[in-house]
Amino acid sequence: MKFSSLVEVLRQKGFDFAVNHGGGAPAGERDPSIFEVFADSRRVLPGSIFCCIRGEKSDGHEYAGIAKELGAVALVCEYPLETDLPVIVVKSVRDIMGDLAAAVYGYPAEKLLMAGVTGTNGKSTTTYALRSILHAAGFRTGLTGTIVESDGVRERDAERTTPESCEIQRLLAATVKNGCGACVMETSSHGLMIGRLNGCRFDVGVFTNLNPEHLDFHGDMENYFQAKRLLFTKYMKDNSVLAINTDDPWGSRLLKEFSCSRNPSEPGAGQVPSVAGFGFADVGDMKLDMEGSAFTVRMKNFPPLPIKSPLAGRYNVANVLATVAALRGRISDSDIARGVADIPQVPGRLEKRRMSNGATCIIDFAHTPEALRNTLTAVRDFCPGRLISIFGHGGGRYESNRPALGAVAASLADMIIVTMDNPRDEDPLAIAEAIVRGIVERGGGARYKVIPDRREAIFTALSIAGPGDVLLVSGKGPEKFLTIRDQKIPYSDAEAIEEWEKLANSRASRPFRAR
């Protein structure tokens, strides 16, 4: 796309900006062809337009020169720069970048069946379930979220739940190029608020639930809700479907809002003609065990649908319900049932390891009080021995969750080991003390230890565990690092568990030698 054509597209969309065509450059370089869009100067390729974002720790304007050296042929800035490249000067680069990137990459979201999932808990599991159903229906499907980014062919670990808008558009373009017909995305409140979804529109939107989290960023639950709500008010296609959890009070509020008649003159009015509520009132004949669940979905206007899911726990029944509500009527019931039955193990979500000492280790991402309650409850129902809970809390995160986490664990676990979980700039012992305060105040008879070293905490728990005991290691899930100050230290709960097992087997295999 020519720079001049891109400028015209942005003007037609109503963006307010100024343009400098690079007066010092040769005439042939004042209207370059744009092939790529980047906000990270280290990734710039020849033929790129570089977007200078001002972040919390760095200012992209300072890297415009490096971007040019790497092949950038135009810039998007928030103030004029001394350069001979063509420049778009706009009040907020983030506001314009998603639409700009969508234009450069050929509006890939419009060529895909797009499903967006938002909420506090259950987003990753719901996206994996949606992808499995879409695969069963014959759609090669991309995925982006907390765990991985996939363009339908290649998969890599995700750096954040919702990438920068230009990265999303580049991923979607690759997804289209690779022959995909759909893409499923987790949409974080932070990403929605700062415009990372700009340039995307969704056919399906799912609301899972809302619990206190990220209130250090949002301030209060109302602001947090309004951020999540943006998925449904700003980013939906015509003829889209909303699937909303009506067992959640915030979901009930959202459902009521979209079920009411809307003034056609309102922005976005008429864009959400179909709203599907879901909840446990739609479930019959439910059977749960540690290997999964079986139940019948009884939704209004549809015949009963028997479901067998490999996902354990009552809360995962809710996640599956979300996918059924979102896709029923668009995907056949047989494909939905087959897709649910084939849901793969979601990394770091109730991920089980059978240990040589007879215990079971479960790795889970649960890091909010409600998520920990759901996970411990699911495990408690099928734990014949002691339930040992190992967790911490991230530094720089909502501090009120710390005693709440302790109280939840004290009410459900037999033993608790409080440890480290991405302390960032905070003292891990201070975080642990806040968790312990909740344990002590709740009582309940649970014994506890504080072992800041996470690997040592897991080793200690495994060393005292025996047949029938279950160890729930929660908070980090599939993450492969610990964030301490500004460093990411390589670490994995799964690798720590595997290391203990190897050492245990090694000790067991050593021959006895009499002295």
Looking up tokens 């054509």, which residue turns up? Answer: 5
Work out the average pLDDT over 33-43.
97
Residue 511 corresponds to which amino acid?
A: P
Q: In the structure, what pLDDT confidence band is assigned to residue 246 with cuts at 50, 70 and 90?
A: very high
Question: Under CATH, which number does the domain 351-506 receive?
Answer: 3.90.190.20
- For residues 179 and 112, the answer to whether their CB atoms sit within 8 Å is no
pTM of the full structure: 0.93
Report the distance separating Cα 453 and Cα 467, nearest Å. Answer: 25
Residue 300 corresponds to which amino acid?
A: K
Share of the chain above pLDDT 90, in %: 88
Report the distance separating Cα 268 and Cα 180, nearest Å. Answer: 28
CB-count burial class (<10 Å; 0-12, 13-18, 19+) for 202? buried
> Which residues, 6+ apart, have CB-to-CB distance to 191 below 8 Å?
160, 161, 162, 163, 197
Q: Read off the tokens for 311.
A: 């996902």
Segment among 202-206, 218-222, 260-264 with least mean pLDDT:
260-264
| Domain ranges, ordered by start, for the chain | 3-104, 108-341, 351-506
Considering only CA atoms, which of 319, 313, 317 is closest in space to residue 350?
313
Strand bridging mode 113-118 / 141-144 = unpaired
- pLDDT at residue 199 greater than cutoff 70: yes
- Per-residue model confidence as pLDDT tens digits over 93-103: 999 999 999 99
Sheet containing 17-20: which strands, arranged edge to edge?
A: 17-20, 87-90, 72-77, 48-51, 36-38
- For residues 38 and 51, the answer to whether their CB atoms sit within 8 Å is yes
Q: In the structure, what pLDDT confidence band is assigned to residue 273 with cuts at 50, 70 and 90?
A: low
- For residues 231 and 187, the answer to whether their CB atoms sit within 8 Å is yes
Q: In the structure, what pLDDT confidence band is assigned to residue 268 with cuts at 50, 70 and 90?
A: very low
Kindly report the average pLDDT of the chain as a whole number: 93
Q: What is the pLDDT of residue 445?
A: 79
- The full DSSP string for 341-406 is HTPPPPTTSSEEEE-TTS-EEEEE---SHHHHHHHHHHHHTT-SS-EEEEE---TTS-TTHHHHHH
Q: What is the pLDDT of residue 355?
A: 97
- Per-residue model confidence as pLDDT tens digits over 459-500: 999 999 999 999 999 999 999 999 999 899 999 999 999 999
Neighbours of 268 (CB within 10 A): 12
Angle at 359 between CA 121 and CA 475, to 5 degrees: 25
Work out the average pLDDT over 10-24.
88
Report the distance separating Cα 231 and Cα 69, nearest Å. Answer: 37
Helices (H) and strands (E) in the chain, counts: 16, 24
Question: Under CATH, which number does the domain 3-104 receive?
Answer: 3.40.1390.10
Report the distance separating Cα 139 and Cα 176, nearest Å. Answer: 12
CA distances from 332 to 302, 310, 324 (A): 11, 20, 10
Report the chain's terminal Cα–Cα distance, integer Å.
81
Strand bridging mode 236-245 / 113-118 = unpaired
Strand bridging mode 17-20 / 87-90 = antiparallel
Q: What is the pLDDT of residue 27?
A: 58
Q: Read off the tokens for 189.
A: 């409140």
- pLDDT at residue 270 greater than cutoff 90: no
Q: In the structure, what pLDDT confidence band is assigned to residue 269 with cuts at 50, 70 and 90?
A: very low
Considering only CA atoms, which of 405, 487, 421, 414 is closest in space to residue 454?
421
Q: What is the pLDDT of residue 447?
A: 95
Report the distance separating Cα 269 and Cα 261, nearest Å. Answer: 9
- pLDDT at residue 127 greater than cutoff 50: yes
Considering only CA atoms, which of 105, 110, 52, 113 is closest in space to residue 83?
52
Nearest 10 degrees: Cα torsion 109, 112, 117, 122: -140
Looking up tokens 């765990």, which residue turns up? Answer: 147
Report the distance separating Cα 35 and Cα 48, nearest Å. Answer: 6
User: What 3-state DSSP class applies to 277?
Assistant: strand
Alpha helices in 113-164 (DSSP H): 123-136
Report the distance separating Cα 46 and Cα 277, nearest Å. Answer: 48
Neighbours of 223 (CB within 10 A): 14
- For residues 216 and 397, the answer to whether their CB atoms sit within 8 Å is yes
CATH architecture of 108-341: 3-Layer(aba) Sandwich (3.40)
- Per-residue model confidence as pLDDT tens digits over 66-77: 999 999 999 999
Looking at the DSSP assignment, which residues form a beta bridge with residue 148? Answer: 157
Q: What is the pLDDT of residue 267?
A: 44
Residue 126 corresponds to which amino acid?
A: T
Q: What is the pLDDT of residue 169?
A: 98
CA distances from 279 to 156, 298, 452 (A): 33, 10, 39
